């Protein structure tokens, strides 16, 4: 048995293997869950509560640092507009986390919980294989495939706004 298997068994849900978007969504929700638990567990000594909140914040910060490092790679497959918006959001998470570590109030953690949940919701909607998710329109003649008219996985949906946090 691999040494990490006992740790993995602690999680109620596990990410889908081979689906990076689902894995990222799972990680964001796990971090949000840990921050939420740290907020609601006020029954202990104030120092223990503060330490639990800081531990949850640090875990979330590490996760966002991983996202940030992946987004800065030269060969990133993320569309440039989305990449810039996500890097801006990473910058906000960095700054907000530093402030929250100094004063880990429930309100400071709630901001990060909401961000994680919203990004995870968006990631959960990404098809497992975006190329196979869009079926080509039926062709008039066999062998004469047409491009689909619908939005692709990388096209912003109507009503969606790019994240542009000026921090």
CA gap 154, 18 in Å, rounded: 19
Say if 114 falls within a structural domain: yes
- pLDDT value, residue 106: 95
Say if 153 falls within a structural domain: no
Say if 157 falls within a structural domain: no
Average pLDDT over residues 45-54: 92
Burial class (CB in 10 A: 0-12, 13-18, 19+), 22: middle
Residue 135 has pLDDT above 70, yes or no: no
- pLDDT value, residue 17: 76
Say if 66 falls within a structural domain: yes
Residue 119 has pLDDT above 70, yes or no: yes
Say if 34 falls within a structural domain: yes
Say if 95 falls within a structural domain: yes
> How many separate domains does the chain show?
1
For 144, phi and psi rounded to 5 degrees? -110, 70
23: domain range? 18-126
- pLDDT value, residue 2: 54
- pLDDT value, residue 86: 95
CATH code for the domain in which residue 108 is found:
1.20.120
Say if 162 falls within a structural domain: no
Higher pLDDT, 100 or 44: 100
């Amino acid at each position: 048995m691999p040494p990490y298997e006992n740790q993995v068994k602690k999680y109620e849900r596990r990410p889908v293997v081979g689906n990076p978007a689902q894995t990222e969504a799972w990680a964001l929700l796990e971090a949000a869950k840990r921050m939420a638990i740290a907020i609601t567990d006020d029954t202990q000594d104030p120092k223990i509560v503060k330490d639990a909140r800081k531990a949850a914040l640090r875990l979330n910060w590490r996760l966002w640092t991983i996202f940030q490092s992946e987004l800065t790679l030269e060969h990133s497959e993320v569309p440039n507009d989305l990449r810039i918006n996500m890097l801006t959001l990473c910058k906000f998470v960095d700054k907000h986390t530093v402030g929250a570590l100094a004063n880990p109030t429930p309100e400071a953690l709630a901001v990060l919980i909401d961000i994680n949940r919203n990004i995870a919701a968006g990631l959960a909607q990404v098809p497992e294989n975006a190329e196979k998710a869009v079926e080509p329109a039926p062709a008039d003649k066999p062998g004469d495939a047409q491009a689909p008219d619908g939005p692709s996985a990388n096209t912003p949906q109507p009503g969606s706004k790019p994240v542009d946090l000026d921090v």
